[in-house]
Structure 1
């Protein structure tokens, strides 16, 4: 039996707890009680009770500095959500493979790394293959650049300072300023390109996914001989349509 949703049916304390978790996430994972109180616009005793409840359940940690950080129990929830999101994306990825003939992936930004959560391989004997669950640094992949382009510049620079920018090929971006200029281009044109930056002989196109409540992107990759610049121009509109259809379907589900 389904019940019609009404505003009166929401539990306000749960809403506030989720909002506090989102504030922690938006701040990079750690805030002081006073900062949470200011961001939430709630009385400090209310915020304190909610945070201590989540500490007791493992969803929040209280550091020796007394600051609050995201707790380890959220990892299990996040992994489960990532698996579900990947399974929901498979029909859209399969349609991309049918239409474009190349391997299609979905990836998320988790911490400082890109994690692949779904893939449908090409039917070509020579094809690209990335294991679901594989983690890579974002600066040298098309899907990584599509994810980074959704972040403020200061967050990207902080991430790069933590991870470094190791060269995977002679074409890999290894200078933060050069990558920032590339991300500006990605935002303007709406897609990212890995032009043999992760692996020589492989070209990848990626488009961001909006409205997923996570930093996510679709990518299509194949040998450079098939993924020519002309092919890329034809691939991008198809990928944008698939991304829009997937996010619209999520919003309506």
Structure 2
């Protein structure tokens, strides 16, 4: 997540025939996505670093095309036409992730998941079930709160503290089990340990008898993480110790694949 309290400068124009107005339009769409909700023209100016006349011209075009919607409050939000693009991108991300998920299941036996942060919630976007008859039934598309899951902790670990606290205030930190963390400062302490160790744990915090270990995919276009989950008797410390480097390796491999598909500074793809 970007820090909403810092003013960002517009991205430098790329050489190689890039169209500046398109680059700026996508800067605005990303600023809207980073806002976590609705934002006005002055907020967009602060986040993007673009002059107000430029923002007004571009935002009107995006509204006319359906990629941005203006609320009655005159604030702007992402528009419904982006849903189809997001669904297609999500399917493509799942396709790229599946070999890594299958490899985790092959080596560990337990269910492997890919989850992403979508607004204030965690959504599971890909999964390969474990080999055991008794396994987790967290299905693709399910949404959960970040404060009670390993993937949520992994996804929020690098976010600015003020943004995490604001999210926790909005979501309310509902108590799902006796082990659920419901105190914001305790949760921030957990995020510190995730940053220190490079992985996150959920020990019966969302469902009794279920343990999960997760690692974030670094330098990805979206905030995503891999996880392994299973019944606590099988998710022993020995299995978690084995899982951590495998999760980190899968995360690094997917990150490299995603970076290879991004344009470099000259505007050409990394492939």
Q: TM-score, normalised by structure 1?
A: 0.92
- Of residues 117, 122, 128 in structure 2, which corresponds to 1:120? 128
Is the 1:150–1:215 Cα contact (8 Å) retained in structure 2? no
5+ long unaligned stretches in structure 1: 1-5
Counterpart of 2:32?
Answer: 24
Counterpart of 2:156?
Answer: 148
Is the 2:108–2:239 Cα contact (8 Å) retained in structure 1? no
Asked if 1:45 corresponds to 2:58, the answer is no
Is the 2:110–2:228 Cα contact (8 Å) retained in structure 1? yes
Structure 2 CA distance for aligned equivalents of residues 38 and 180 of structure 1: 27
Counterpart of 1:163?
Answer: 171
Counterpart of 1:3?
Answer: none
- Relative distance call for 1:14 and 1:142 in structure 2 (3 A) is same
Asked if 1:248 corresponds to 2:245, the answer is no
How many residue pairs get matched?
248
Q: TM-score, normalised by structure 2?
A: 0.86
| Deviations, residues 188-245 of structure 1 (Å, cap 9, x unaligned) | 1111001111112211000001122111100001121121122212210111011101
Counterpart of 2:18?
Answer: 10
Structure 2 CA distance for aligned equivalents of residues 40 and 132 of structure 1: 33
- Of residues 196, 200, 205 in structure 1, which corresponds to 2:208? 200
Q: What SS does structure 2 have at the residue aligned with 1:204?
A: strand
Counterpart of 2:185?
Answer: 177
Asked if 1:211 corresponds to 2:219, the answer is yes
Is the 1:107–1:143 Cα contact (8 Å) retained in structure 2? yes
Counterpart of 2:94?
Answer: 86
Higher RCO, Cα 8 Å, sep 6+: 2
Structure 1 CA distance for aligned equivalents of residues 36 and 58 of structure 2: 19
Give the deviation of 1:91 after TM superposition: 0.6
Asked if 1:76 corresponds to 2:118, the answer is no
Q: What SS does structure 1 have at the residue aligned with 2:225?
A: strand
Q: Please, which moves more after superposition, 220-229 or 30-39?
A: 30-39
Asked if 1:228 corresponds to 2:211, the answer is no
Is the 1:106–1:217 Cα contact (8 Å) retained in structure 2? yes
Give the deviation of 1:110 after TM superposition: 0.7
Give the deviation of 1:38 after TM superposition: 4.4
Counterpart of 1:62?
Answer: 70
More helix by share: 1
5+ long unaligned stretches in structure 2: 1-13, 262-271
